[in-house]
Amino acid sequence: MRSRARSALTRVTRHAQAGGVVLDGVGKRYPGRRGEPDVEAVADVDLEVAPGEFVAVVGASGCGKSTLLRILAGFESQTSGVVEVGGRPVTGPGSERGVVFQDYGLFPWLTVRENVTFGPRQRGVPRQTARRHALEVIETVGLSRFTDRFPGELSGGMQQRVAIARVLANDPALLLMDEPFGALDALTRTQMQHELRRIHRETGTTVLLVTHSLEEACYLADRVVVMSGGASHGVPGHVSQVVTVDLGDERDVNGESFNALERRLVAAVHGEESAP
Amino acid sequence: MASLTAGRRGGRTDAALRAALGVGVLLLIVLLWDLGVRGQWVLVFGIKMAFLPPPVEVARLLWDFAFGGLYDDAYSAALWEHLGASTSRVLAGFGLATAIGVPLGVLMGRFVWVNAALDPAVNLFRPIPATAWVPLVLLIIGFGNQATVFLITLSAFFPILLNTLAAVKEVPPRMVEAGRMLGTSGWGILLKVVVPAATPGIVSGLRIGLGLAWVILVLGEANGIDTGLGAMITLAREQVRTDRVVVGMIVIGLAGFLSDRVLVRGLGLLFGRRPLVRA
Ligand SMILES: Nc1ncnc2c1ncn2[C@@H]1O[C@H](COP(=O)(O)OP(=O)(O)O)[C@@H](O)[C@H]1O
Ligand SMILES: [Mg+2]
């Protein structure tokens, strides 16, 4: 069963080439509310993400992590710089860039299966094909027993699995996740991290994960982007450091090297935070 | 498990108690009504209970109105004809109000230009009660069926429109973002995301609209109509048949109540387990 599910996901791999990300001098200025000055959320962000790479973005709240992700998703447009995914400029949301929200954002009036077939059906995939593919994807996130449930009947962790499944059903080249496990309890969170790791390996999809947890970042990412600043600091949010996670494939969260790296990240995040 | 079962049984006892309480109050009202009529009470607002028929008489008349066999007059077993005529007017008006109000509300809630164009007009017309429209309607449409259906449409229209509008505006932006990142745009977002997300609010509007449709029915049917509950009440008043007036009131009240149940049940059948109606 599992192997069939895997084959469904490996089909995605050919799209992964399209998942490279280029941010070049990206800035975002939100118009200020009545009488107030504009909010310069981020400025001069340069970042390249290779196809298939897993990049985590960390930093204090307000430093513009969500803003960057929303620009890549196409929900917002940058006010300066170049934003490209798969070599093409981002002009709006698209099904090749799947977004996983912290609050899941599932359609409560649709069953798990209908939520997962929503994307493919909207793209014109025939009903039967979409259904079959959906069942496979639902299996890979371990929810086969719940296909006919409604989101409101599921736990937070299960809802987030559905949210991941519904974007995977679209064979996305890029997965954008904004603190996806932030609302989950510690145990569920760890489980979800394992699953995300497995899914990333099986699909080869490029992943950009915003997280508050440095451990999560160390455990999952190939590289960790540390952001700092933020409108409330008087400096626009920017990338202050990019840390390569050279821990190999099997990562022991209690291991010596893991902890050393995590400490390095803590220093990077907090050092920037307390700087003038 | 044990506590669960106990909890459920407790819930059932609760429900039974609540039902008994409700029925008890109803019985009390009927009892006071009876006592008041016998004792010729005069209440606040100058309500002279002596002018009311006693409940037993109303019950007999209601029975005869529904099934006949007691008085054998023009109203014996005539309830269904009157009810049918009234119901079809309510349904016509309510259907029309829904057919216009829901799409218009969705468009106003979603497109700023539609909203900008229609908002002032809506706000200008909305405060005019349907009752205030009656004289004008009688002059420009004339007595009869069309005027009645028009008044019902008018009174059901605004709550349906405004509830739909509010529901659409309150659709979480997250729902729209989810739809868009999954590959939907334009009409797909409107029909597959916004409308279902707004459905609980739209249904609330429909229920209010349907209730108002029955309210305005009596006014509409008061003029130039022979068959209908409102017509029957109006005629009874002209003949000073208080008992018949009360019978008509009861039937309209029940009809309004039942139509709401039917609407909710019908939508329940349509939606199945989907959480699309507010609890
Ligand atoms: N729609 C918006 N309008 C105005 N300011 C915004 C908007 N969205 C975010 N901001 C501001 O931009 C800055 C970065 O926000 P955000 O990207 O959400 O940070 P993070 O996700 O890192 O916490 C914050 O100062 C925030 O107040
Ligand atoms: Mg954020």
| Distance from the A100 Cα atom to the nearest Cα atom in chain B, whole angstroms | 9
Range with the poorest average pLDDT among A69-83, A262-276, B178-192, B262-276: A262-276
Tally the domains of chain B: 2
Q: What is the pLDDT of residue B10?
A: 62
My answer on whether B159 and B108 are in the same domain is yes
Instruction: Match 């997300």 to its residue by tokens.
Output: B197
Answer yes or no: is B217 within a domain: yes
The closest CB to that of B182, out of A103, A108, A170, belongs to A170
- Indicate the DSSP class of residue A20: -
Q: For residues B250 and B17, what is the distance between their CA atoms, to the nearest angstrom?
A: 25
Q: Are residue B27 and residue B83 in the same domain, yes or no? A: no
Q: Are residues B258 and B134 in the same domain?
A: yes
**Is 70 exceeded by the pLDDT of residue A123?**
yes
DSSP string, A38-57: PEEEEEEEEEEE-TT-EEEE
- Establish how many alpha carbons lie within 13 A of residue A171's alpha carbon, considering only the half-sphere containing its beta carbon: 18
pLDDT tens for A180-221 read 999 999 999 999 999 999 999 999 999 999 999 999 999 999
For residues B46 and B90, state if they share a domain: no
* Domain shared by B19 and B143, yes or no: no
Distance A28 CA to ligand 1 centre (A): 10
Whether B5 has a pLDDT exceeding 90, the answer reads no
CA A20 to the chain's CA centroid: 14
Residue B168 in this model has a pLDDT that exceeds 90: yes
Cross-chain Cβ contact A106/B178 below 8 Å = yes
Neighbours of A208 (CB within 10 A): 26
- Give me B160's structure tokens: 């349906």
Question: Given an 8 Å threshold on Cβ–Cβ distance, is A118 in contact with B275?
Answer: no
- pLDDT of A248 reads 83
Q: Which helix (H) or strand (E) segment is A26 a member of?
A: strand A21-30
SS3 assignment, position A176 = strand
Task: Say which amino acid occupies A236.
Answer: P
Distances, alpha carbon A22 to alpha carbons A27, A69, A217, A227, B227, in Å? 13, 13, 20, 17, 74
Q: Do B203 and B259 have their domain in common?
A: yes
Residues B48 and B84 in one domain: no
pLDDT of residue A14: 43
Q: How far apart are CA A55 and CA B4, in angstroms?
A: 47
Q: Is B120 a domain residue?
A: yes
Do B253 and B116 share a structural domain? yes
Mean pLDDT in residue range B53-79: 94
Examine the domain organization and report whether B146 and B17 are in the same domain: no
Tell me the residue type at B180: R
Contacts of A236 (CB under 8 A, 6+ apart): A27, A40, A41, A42, A43, A44, A64, A229, A230
Give B126-137 pLDDT, tens digit per residue: 999 988 999 999
B141 and B31, same domain (yes or no): no
- Listed by start position, the domains of chain A span 14-106+173-269
The CATH number that domain A14-106+173-269 falls under is: 3.40.50.300
Q: Is the CB of A61 under 6 A from ligand 1?
A: yes
Distance from CA of B199 to the nearest CA of A (A): 10
Outline where chain A has alpha helix (H). 2-10, 13-16, 65-73, 112-122, 127-140, 156-168, 186-203, 214-220, 256-274
Question: Could you identify the residue written with the tokens 């519904």?
Answer: A166
Note whether A13 and A204 are within 8 A (CB).
yes
pTM of the model: 0.89
Atom of ligand 1 nearest to the CA of A231: 25
Q: Do residue B103 and residue B48 come from a single domain?
A: no
Interface test with A, best of B182, B192, B195 (most A CBs within 10 A): B182
Q: What is the mean pLDDT of chain B?
A: 93
Residue B105 has, within 13 A of its CA and on its CB side, a CA count of 29
Q: How confident is the model at residue B9 (pLDDT cuts 50, 70, 90)?
A: low
Cβ contact A95–B183 (<8 Å) = yes
Compute the distance between CA of residue A131 and CA of residue A120 in angstroms, rounded to an integer. 9
Q: What is the pLDDT of residues A2-35, one digit of tens each?
A: 444 444 454 444 444 578 999 999 999 999 888 8
The average pLDDT across B182-194 equals: 95
Question: Which range marks the domain in which residue B22 is found?
Answer: 2-52
Q: Phi/psi of residue A30, each to 5°?
A: -85, 135
Q: Is B17 on the interface with A (CB under 8 A)?
A: no
Q: What is the CATH number of the domain that holds B141?
A: 1.10.3720.10
Residue A276 confidence (pLDDT) above 90: no
Ligand 1 atom closest to the Cα of residue A39 is 5
Residues 6+ apart with CB under 8 A from B29: none
| Inter-chain CB proximity A109 and B199 less than 8 Å | yes
Model confidence pLDDT, tens digit, residues A57-109: 999 999 999 999 999 999 999 999 999 999 999 999 999 999 999 999 999 99
**Would you say the CB of residue A229 lies under 6 angstroms from ligand 1?**
no
Q: Which of A92, A99, A105 sits opposite B175 (nearest CB)?
A: A105
Pairwise CB contact (< 8 Å): B180 & A152:
no
Residues of chain B neighbouring A93 (CB-CB closer than 8 A): 177, 180-181
Q: Are residues B159 and B44 in the same domain?
A: no
Q: Which residues, in sequence order, are CB contacts of A9 under 8 Å at separation 6+?
A: A136, A137, A140, A168, A199, A202, A203
